[in-house]
Amino acid sequence: MKLTFKLIDRSDLLTIGDIYNYYVLNTTVTFRRDPVGLDELKRMYRLDDGRFRTYLINDGTETAGYCGYGPYKLHEGYERTAGIFIYLRPDKIARGIGTMALRYLERVAREHGISVLLAYITAGNVNSDKLLKKQGYEQVAHFKRIGEKFNKTLDVTFYQKEL
Protein backbone atom coordinates (compact mmCIF):
# COMPACT_ATOMS: atom_id res chain seq x y z
CA MET A 1 0.00 0.00 0.00
CA LYS A 2 1.27 3.44 -0.90
CA LEU A 3 0.38 6.32 1.39
CA THR A 4 0.74 10.01 0.78
CA PHE A 5 0.93 12.66 3.48
CA LYS A 6 -0.36 16.18 2.82
CA LEU A 7 0.31 19.08 5.14
CA ILE A 8 -3.13 20.30 6.17
CA ASP A 9 -4.65 23.66 5.38
CA ARG A 10 -7.93 25.28 6.44
CA SER A 11 -9.91 23.36 3.82
CA ASP A 12 -8.95 20.08 5.55
CA LEU A 13 -10.28 20.97 9.00
CA LEU A 14 -13.80 19.64 8.37
CA THR A 15 -12.39 16.27 7.23
CA ILE A 16 -10.21 16.14 10.33
CA GLY A 17 -13.22 17.11 12.45
CA ASP A 18 -15.29 14.24 11.04
CA ILE A 19 -12.58 11.73 11.93
CA TYR A 20 -11.85 13.20 15.36
CA ASN A 21 -15.50 13.56 16.31
CA TYR A 22 -16.07 9.86 15.62
CA TYR A 23 -13.60 9.17 18.45
CA VAL A 24 -15.20 11.82 20.65
CA LEU A 25 -18.67 10.29 20.32
CA ASN A 26 -17.82 6.58 20.28
CA THR A 27 -14.58 5.86 22.13
CA THR A 28 -12.41 6.65 25.11
CA VAL A 29 -9.44 7.49 22.85
CA THR A 30 -10.13 11.12 23.75
CA PHE A 31 -11.80 12.26 26.95
CA ARG A 32 -13.77 14.97 25.18
CA ARG A 33 -17.49 14.35 25.43
CA ASP A 34 -18.85 16.82 22.89
CA PRO A 35 -17.95 17.11 19.20
CA VAL A 36 -15.54 19.89 18.31
CA GLY A 37 -16.36 22.61 15.81
CA LEU A 38 -14.28 24.55 13.34
CA ASP A 39 -13.02 27.18 15.82
CA GLU A 40 -11.74 24.53 18.21
CA LEU A 41 -10.12 22.58 15.36
CA LYS A 42 -8.23 25.74 14.36
CA ARG A 43 -6.86 25.96 17.91
CA MET A 44 -6.03 22.26 18.12
CA TYR A 45 -4.22 22.02 14.78
CA ARG A 46 -2.14 25.14 14.29
CA LEU A 47 -1.83 25.98 10.65
CA ASP A 48 0.70 28.78 11.07
CA ASP A 49 3.40 26.90 13.00
CA GLY A 50 6.19 25.79 10.67
CA ARG A 51 7.72 23.41 13.19
CA PHE A 52 4.73 21.45 14.46
CA ARG A 53 2.62 19.83 11.79
CA THR A 54 -0.52 17.89 10.96
CA TYR A 55 -0.90 15.75 7.84
CA LEU A 56 -3.81 14.14 6.05
CA ILE A 57 -3.10 10.50 5.24
CA ASN A 58 -4.30 9.31 1.84
CA ASP A 59 -4.21 5.61 0.98
CA GLY A 60 -4.56 6.18 -2.76
CA THR A 61 -8.32 6.22 -2.92
CA GLU A 62 -9.42 8.41 -0.02
CA THR A 63 -8.42 10.07 3.21
CA ALA A 64 -7.52 7.30 5.63
CA GLY A 65 -6.91 9.57 8.61
CA TYR A 66 -4.56 12.21 9.88
CA CYS A 67 -1.46 12.40 12.02
CA GLY A 68 0.96 14.93 13.40
CA TYR A 69 2.98 16.19 16.28
CA GLY A 70 2.74 19.23 18.48
CA PRO A 71 4.60 20.80 21.37
CA TYR A 72 4.82 18.79 24.56
CA LYS A 73 4.92 22.05 26.52
CA LEU A 74 5.23 25.63 25.35
CA HIS A 75 8.37 26.47 27.38
CA GLU A 76 11.47 26.82 25.22
CA GLY A 77 13.31 24.22 27.31
CA TYR A 78 11.06 21.55 25.79
CA GLU A 79 11.75 22.47 22.14
CA ARG A 80 13.31 19.09 21.41
CA THR A 81 10.22 17.15 22.56
CA ALA A 82 6.87 16.70 20.82
CA GLY A 83 3.65 14.80 21.38
CA ILE A 84 2.40 12.67 18.49
CA PHE A 85 -1.12 11.74 17.40
CA ILE A 86 -2.62 9.45 14.79
CA TYR A 87 -6.34 9.23 14.08
CA LEU A 88 -7.55 6.80 11.42
CA ARG A 89 -10.99 6.25 9.99
CA PRO A 90 -12.43 3.20 11.79
CA ASP A 91 -12.45 1.10 8.60
CA LYS A 92 -8.72 1.82 8.07
CA ILE A 93 -7.48 0.47 11.42
CA ALA A 94 -5.20 -2.61 11.53
CA ARG A 95 -4.04 -2.28 7.93
CA GLY A 96 -0.49 -1.04 8.55
CA ILE A 97 -1.41 2.62 8.05
CA GLY A 98 -0.62 3.53 11.67
CA THR A 99 2.85 2.00 11.37
CA MET A 100 3.62 3.91 8.18
CA ALA A 101 2.24 7.14 9.66
CA LEU A 102 4.36 6.75 12.79
CA ARG A 103 7.53 6.18 10.76
CA TYR A 104 6.71 9.22 8.64
CA LEU A 105 6.18 11.39 11.73
CA GLU A 106 9.49 10.25 13.20
CA ARG A 107 11.36 11.20 10.03
CA VAL A 108 9.71 14.62 9.68
CA ALA A 109 10.08 15.40 13.39
CA ARG A 110 13.78 14.56 13.23
CA GLU A 111 14.16 16.94 10.25
CA HIS A 112 12.61 19.72 12.38
CA GLY A 113 14.93 19.27 15.35
CA ILE A 114 12.70 17.04 17.46
CA SER A 115 14.67 14.33 19.25
CA VAL A 116 12.09 12.95 21.69
CA LEU A 117 8.55 11.87 20.83
CA LEU A 118 5.82 11.23 23.37
CA ALA A 119 2.50 9.48 22.91
CA TYR A 120 -0.23 9.60 25.54
CA ILE A 121 -3.01 7.07 25.23
CA THR A 122 -5.93 5.82 27.24
CA ALA A 123 -4.85 2.65 29.02
CA GLY A 124 -6.50 -0.31 27.36
CA ASN A 125 -6.27 1.17 23.85
CA VAL A 126 -4.97 -2.12 22.47
CA ASN A 127 -4.28 -0.96 18.90
CA SER A 128 -2.22 2.07 19.94
CA ASP A 129 -0.44 0.16 22.69
CA LYS A 130 0.59 -2.58 20.26
CA LEU A 131 1.68 -0.09 17.58
CA LEU A 132 3.83 1.96 19.93
CA LYS A 133 5.57 -1.02 21.51
CA LYS A 134 6.21 -2.60 18.10
CA GLN A 135 7.88 0.63 16.91
CA GLY A 136 10.22 0.89 19.89
CA TYR A 137 8.32 3.22 22.18
CA GLU A 138 8.78 2.57 25.88
CA GLN A 139 6.01 3.02 28.42
CA VAL A 140 7.38 5.59 30.85
CA ALA A 141 4.33 6.53 32.92
CA HIS A 142 0.95 5.21 33.96
CA PHE A 143 -1.46 7.69 35.50
CA LYS A 144 -4.32 6.00 37.29
CA ARG A 145 -7.95 7.11 37.20
CA ILE A 146 -7.22 10.61 35.86
CA GLY A 147 -9.96 10.81 33.24
CA GLU A 148 -13.61 9.94 32.96
CA LYS A 149 -15.90 9.14 30.06
CA PHE A 150 -19.01 7.02 29.54
CA ASN A 151 -19.30 6.71 33.34
CA LYS A 152 -15.89 5.00 33.55
CA THR A 153 -12.80 6.24 35.33
CA LEU A 154 -9.82 5.78 33.02
CA ASP A 155 -6.05 5.55 33.16
CA VAL A 156 -3.58 7.21 30.78
CA THR A 157 -0.20 5.80 29.75
CA PHE A 158 2.72 7.77 28.33
CA TYR A 159 5.13 6.29 25.82
CA GLN A 160 8.46 7.77 24.78
CA LYS A 161 10.99 7.25 22.01
CA GLU A 162 14.31 8.98 21.50
CA LEU A 163 14.97 9.52 17.82
Q: What is the pTM of this model?
A: 0.93
* Arithmetic mean of pLDDT over the chain: 92
User: What are the φ and ψ backbone dihedral angles of 115, each rounded to 5 degrees?
Assistant: -120, -10
pLDDT for the residue numbered 121: 95
Model confidence band, residue 117 (pLDDT cutoffs 50, 70, 90): very high
Q: Is the pLDDT of residue 47 over 80?
A: no
pLDDT tens-digit profile of 62-115? 999 999 998 888 788 888 999 999 999 999 988 899 999 999 999 999 999 999
According to CATH, what is the number of the domain 4-116?
Answer: 3.40.630.30
Q: What is the DSSP letter of 11?
A: G
